[in-house]
Amino acid sequence: MKSKYRYIVPNGITFISLTCGILSIMLAATYQLEVAGMLILVSYVLDLLDGATARRLQASSAFGLQLDSLVDMVSLGTAPAILVFMHLQANGINSGWVWLFVVLVPLGGAFRLARFNLLPPKEGGERDSMGLTITSAGATLALAVLADISIEAEYLPDVLFIFLMGLLFVLMVSKIPFPSFFWIFASVRQSAALVVLFVLSLLVTTFFTAWFFWQNVYLGFSLLRAGYKTWR
pLDDT of 14-26, one tens digit each? 999 999 999 999 9
pLDDT of 171-190, one tens digit each? 999 999 998 877 777 778 88
DSSP string, 28-90: HHTT-HHHHHHHHHHHHHHHHHHHHHHHHTT---HHHHHHHHHHHHIIIIIHHHHHHHHHHHH
Model pLDDT, residue 1: 41
What letter represents residue 154's amino acid?
A: E
Distance separating alpha carbons of residues 216 and 232, to the nearest angstrom: 24
pLDDT exceeds cutoff 70 at 153: no
> 58 vs 43, which has greater pLDDT?
43
Task: Say how many C-beta atoms besides its own lie within 10 A of residue 167's C-beta.
Answer: 16
Question: φ and ψ at 125, to 5 degrees?
Answer: -95, 15
Task: Map out the domains of the chain as residue ranges.
Answer: 4-176
Of 227, 131, 220, give the one whose Cα is nearest residue 180: 131
Q: What is the mean pLDDT of residues 82-108?
A: 91
pLDDT exceeds cutoff 90 at 28: yes
Question: φ and ψ at 153, to 5 degrees?
Answer: -75, 155
CA distances for 226 relative to 45, 88, 115, 128, 178, angstroms: 25, 32, 20, 11, 8
**Cβ proximity of 56 and 64 under 8 Å:** no
Distance separating alpha carbons of residues 59 and 174, to the nearest angstrom: 30
Please provide the distance, in angstroms rounded to a whole number, between the alpha carbons at the two ends of the chain: 50
pLDDT exceeds cutoff 50 at 133: yes
Half-sphere exposure of 90 (CA within 13 A, CB side): 16
What letter represents residue 216's amino acid?
A: N
Distance separating alpha carbons of residues 115 and 134, to the nearest angstrom: 12
Q: For domain 4-176, is the CATH number 1.20.120.1760? A: yes
